[in-house]
Structure 1
Amino acid sequence: MDTSDVIVVMGVSGSGKTSVGRAIAAETSWDFIEGEAFFEPADREAYRAGTLDDAGMDNWLKVVGSWIDGYESTGRDAVLCCPALRRRDRDALRKGRPHVRFCHVTANRATLRNRVGAEGAQHLKDDVSALEPLGADEHGVTVSTEGDPYDIARKALASLGLDPGHS
């Protein structure tokens, strides 16, 4: 059986991961999935408030990992947006899944502050302090979201060795 490809688009709050993720999905005709949908309601609120503990995050990672495993049977490829800010989070998503790749989207501080506003400032601060950028040994790419999301998507796909027509 062929393995479905999954690109996990990760980044801090306000980085533009959803815009870039949707653009990658549009460029490839892959399915787009918002990772926050996998949180239990209480954990989703805790995540948004910046109070999600490791146990809640671990539960979410197990649910997302199970979804990735089950998604293989569809024969479709997907773009999944989620925080995956720490190396341990990415390791959990990647474990036993060599077809999972990461696209870390970044933006400068002024852009991030403008995008999240005053109400999201604490969450952004928490995200920035938790962030562990992709390591040289991780299958992924880091791109700035300064510019057109479709240009950024094409750059990310090229860096990952995928052309927009890949399916």
Structure 2
Amino acid sequence: MSISDEGITDLAARLGAQLQRLGARVSTAESCTGGGIAEAITRIAGSSAWFDAGYVTYSNAQKTAQLGVPDELFPQVGAVSREVVEAMARGAQARSGARFTVAVSGIAGPDGGSPEKPVGTVWLCWADGEQCYPQCFHFPGDRLAVRRQAVATALDGVLRLAVGENPVRG
């Protein structure tokens, strides 16, 4: 998937319009994207009406401190896992009060990959109320490409959720 900055901005604008129709807000919990999802959202004028909070928790310690991710998950399943992104999404949702939340943790590269979790492995989790929708992706390309695809996929998933669709692809 190749997406431009303009494409990401368009997704964020469409998300904002839908959230305003619903009178709903979104929060983000980010690791490998380093705040890129929140940055894309705040490109949109008036996003303060529908963007609640963005948590950038790059280290495991901050995932625990800011979002309440249980410490024991990291040695058990690793930071790039279904369990951790679900906990990140729940933590951001609980702390912000936003209806919708998206969380991301991944290996953008060029280092850090393993045979089990190669570079480009990204877990996303979208939440709406009690429902949580995690999904693992394997994005191709360099660090910038992996991060850009993660941001676009995150925004697309929240938009899908906000229009009543399942955000999980495939």
TM-score of the superposed pair, with normalisation by structure 2: 0.37
Q: Which has the higher helix share?
A: 1
